Amino acid sequence: MSTQNLSQIDDLAVATVRGLAIDMIQKANSGHPGLPLGIADVAYVLWQQFLKFDPSAPNWPNRDRFVLSAGHGSSLLYALLHVYGYDLPIEELKNFRQLHSKTPGHPEYGHTVGVEITTGPLGQGLCNAVGMAIAEERGRQRFGKDLIDHYTYAITGDGCLQEGVSAEASSLAGHLGLGRLIVLYDSNHITIDGRTELTFTEDVGLRYQAYGWQVLRVDGHDRAQIAQALLEAKADNERPSLIICTTTIGKGSPKLAGSHKVHGAPLGPDEVAATKRAIGLDAEQFFAVAPTVAEHLRSGNAQRQGARQAWEKRAQSLEGQQLLTELAGATAANLHQVTWPTQPVGPGMSTRKAGEAVLKALAPHVPQLFCGSADLGHSTFAVIPGEDYVQKGSWAGRNIHWGIREHAMGAVANGLAAWGGYIPVVSTFMVFHDYMRPAVRLAALMGLPVIYAYTHDSIFVGEDGPTHQPVETLAAMRTIPNLVTLRPADLTETCAAYAVALQRTKAPTALALTRQNVPELPRPAGMDAHAAVARGGYVLSDAAASLKVVLIATGSEVHLAMAAQVELERTGCGVRVVSMPSIELFDAQAAVYRREVLPLGVPRLCIEAGSRLPWLRFSGETGDVISIDTFGASAPDKVLANVFGLTVDNVVARARRLVG
């Protein structure tokens, strides 16, 4: 094919992608046409000349990762997946944004073939890409470049780079020297409310140079410039690259190009027709892909498939089999090999410190563990003892310093988990869950096996005061669908909580761990504590006398319930103590089991150093809740226990009141 003919077929291919995108949006009468029209040249050059992929095996491990951080432009991604031959038929494009379609409003991981990550909240996708790039760097050093040798690309917009979370992650990426991370910035100077000059006048390029990135600038509609910049970006393996692509939002639309009006609304039938004529398409045809375009774009698929098959042969090596085993993520099969830490009944240990002992025991048997905290490793202990920390040029370690970047930590961890072969354990004080909640929510939506080791889980943080006392946080965490929260009471329950988390391979798990020491609790002979905790709630100590009241507690409050049981039983009041580390897991049990643990007609007293809201349905009209429904205070933990009624005397008094 001559150079002129090749240029013409490239022009038609880009126009086809644009046409499909605006057809999807117009048929749905919903969507964002501005970005797909504006960034189509950039995306086409990337996919046609640089991106390593195989539509016949979308998830092969050594593919390049492509993240559309500006997820509102999803119609662009769906158009690309279709024209390159992924299993996304034209009927799905016609069902854009419709119920149960494979083309939802924003890309969804695990739902649409070829979608690497769920993007929607701006900036999250860029952070996910940083996580994927970390995974690649570490994988290449561990397994060799014959097995791991790929790039991570992301398309971002002005909104992504205005969100603070992207600044956190970009700073980390520059520090780590992620040379195989290439971000293409769709700089069209438009946001929903108007031109970026309203609020966003900084020099983004200088900011990224300060982060330690290579910064390149191109005309985002000049395909030769785009290709040259991508070559330069790939040539610099010491720094991540930001390619600033100056584009016209809605390019090709005669009336709306360059306007904020094209950002988030369909063009309308007349403007769709006018746009198609302007970019060289038949205005009377919809969802059209010319045979010459399809043949041109898919002609490279045989070579792409061959590259993937050659990799699969290399992966038959011992290193390759280890890589594939880790990617499969079958951690539960190894748990029987773990020698779980134990301690005698009585002596105290904080559950944050217990967590460190558990991670040390797990590490030899769960190679996917990758741990780090937001500058709190010496406080949360959520690290693997004896393991190195990764740094630029040194990727063998299993710990990472995230820095004081809770929001990015959560989002980057999602990228690691989505890349495969990682179970990130990320840690901070529980009160800072609110900083990372958007990323936690997305992990739950995607079903990613991230473990959140939150410590300092109550007012017993003490003198740090109400700013650091998460009285409402447990209740908020328990409202996130597909996230299970466990608040273990001692070392035994902490072991079981980690076992539960590691078996949840399609969902994230949050652990609420104490700052203060708690006693190791006695258990009935023969009890399988791991099985009991996995059910969310269980009878830790049953009544010796006729059952009069059930005490339900979590975490550090379980020992209060046990001590109160002793006092009440002395007066002939039969008391059952139920430890309920996870409301969500308990709710998932069969009704017959729940009734065995919490018999009908027996009053219940719930005890937790947090909001009463999660417990009202357990206490019912005849029960009571000892809780904290105001902000805490700055004082030593024992003083706070007295002020807020978290004492044995108060538990006994409230229980006697219920019994009458």
pLDDT band at 9 (very low <50, low <70, confident <90, very high): very high
pLDDT of residue 3: 66
* Active-site residue list: 406
Tell me: pLDDT of 498 over 70: yes
pLDDT band at 347 (very low <50, low <70, confident <90, very high): confident
pLDDT of residue 329: 80
Average pLDDT over residues 407-420: 98
Average pLDDT over residues 567-584: 97
User: Are residues 433 and 477 in contact, defined by beta-carbon separation less than 8 angstroms?
Assistant: yes
Residue 539 and residue 409 share a domain? no
Residue 62 and residue 169 share a domain? yes
Residue 384 and residue 502 share a domain? yes
User: Are residues 517 and 571 in contact, defined by beta-carbon separation less than 8 angstroms?
Assistant: no
Instruction: Specify if 31 maps to a domain.
Output: yes
User: SS3 of 563, please?
Assistant: helix
The letter for the amino acid at 465 is: G
Tell me: pLDDT of 331 over 80: no
Report the b/e string of 430-443 with b at 16+ CB within 10 A.
Answer: bbbbbbbbbbbbbb
Choose one of 490, 519, 548: the last residue of a domain.
519
Residue 257 and residue 383 share a domain? no
pLDDT band at 364 (very low <50, low <70, confident <90, very high): very high
When divided into structural domains, the chain yields a total of: 3
User: Are residues 30 and 23 in contact, defined by beta-carbon separation less than 8 angstroms?
Assistant: no
Joined together, the tokens standing for residue 612 give 């009463």
Give me the percent of the chain exceeding a pLDDT of 70: 99
Instruction: Specify if 589 maps to a domain.
Output: yes
Write out pLDDT tens, residues 133-172. Answer: 999 999 999 999 999 999 999 999 999 999 999 999 999 9
pLDDT of residue 192: 87
pLDDT band at 621 (very low <50, low <70, confident <90, very high): confident
Choose one of 243, 275, 309: the last residue of a domain.
309
Tell me: pLDDT of 361 over 70: yes
Residue 539 and residue 505 share a domain? no
89 class by beta-carbon count within 10 Å (0-12 exposed, 13-18 middle, 19+ buried): exposed
Average pLDDT over residues 87-94: 98
Write out pLDDT tens, residues 289-316. Answer: 999 999 999 999 999 999 999 999 999 9
Residue 499 and residue 557 share a domain? no
Instruction: Specify if 359 maps to a domain.
Output: yes
User: Rounded to whole angstroms, how far apart are CA atoms 128 and 124?
Assistant: 6
Which CATH number do you get for residue 628? Answer: 3.40.50.920
Q: Degrees (nearest 5) of the Cα angle 176, 179, 180? A: 120
Instruction: Specify if 324 maps to a domain.
Output: no
Cβ neighbours around 264 below 10 Å, total: 16
Residue 163 and residue 102 share a domain? yes
Average pLDDT over residues 34-61: 98
User: Rounded to whole angstroms, how far apart are CA atoms 363 and 360?
Assistant: 5
User: Rounded to whole angstroms, how far apart are CA atoms 503 and 329?
Assistant: 10
pLDDT of residue 2: 63
Instruction: Specify if 242 maps to a domain.
Output: yes
pLDDT band at 1 (very low <50, low <70, confident <90, very high): low
Write out pLDDT tens, residues 415-441. Answer: 999 999 999 999 999 999 999 999 999
Measuring CA to CA, which residue among 251, 245, 277 is closest to residue 263? 251
DSSP code string of 476-537: HHTTSTT-EEE--SSHHHHHHHHHHHHH-TTS-EEEE--SS-EEPPP--TT--HHHHHHTS-
Average pLDDT over residues 323-346: 89
Tell me: pLDDT of 519 over 90: yes
pLDDT of residue 5: 75
Instruction: Specify if 409 maps to a domain.
Output: yes
Joined together, the tokens standing for residue 572 give 């002939």
Tell me: pLDDT of 4 over 70: no
Instruction: Specify the DSSP class assigned to residue 50.
Output: I
Choose one of 487, 519, 551: the last residue of a domain.
519
pLDDT of residue 334: 86
Instruction: Specify if 181 maps to a domain.
Output: yes
User: Rounded to whole angstroms, how far apart are CA atoms 137 and 129?
Assistant: 12
Mean pLDDT, the chain, whole residue set: 96
Residue 136 and residue 32 share a domain? yes
User: Are residues 105 and 74 in contact, defined by beta-carbon separation less than 8 angstroms?
Assistant: yes
Residue 206 and residue 59 share a domain? yes
DSSP code string of 346-397: S-EE-HHHHHHHHHHHHTTT-TTEEEEESS-HHHH--S-TTPPBPBTTB---
Domain that holds residue 362: 331-519
pLDDT of residue 127: 98
Cβ neighbours around 361 below 10 Å, total: 16
Average pLDDT over residues 550-555: 98
Residue 566 and residue 467 share a domain? no
Residue 539 and residue 493 share a domain? no
Which CATH number do you get for residue 443? Answer: 3.40.50.970
Tell me: pLDDT of 330 over 80: no
Average pLDDT over residues 368-391: 97
Average pLDDT over residues 86-109: 98
Instruction: Specify if 530 maps to a domain.
Output: no
User: SS3 of 300, please?
Assistant: coil
Residue 193 and residue 227 share a domain? yes
Tell me: pLDDT of 101 over 80: yes
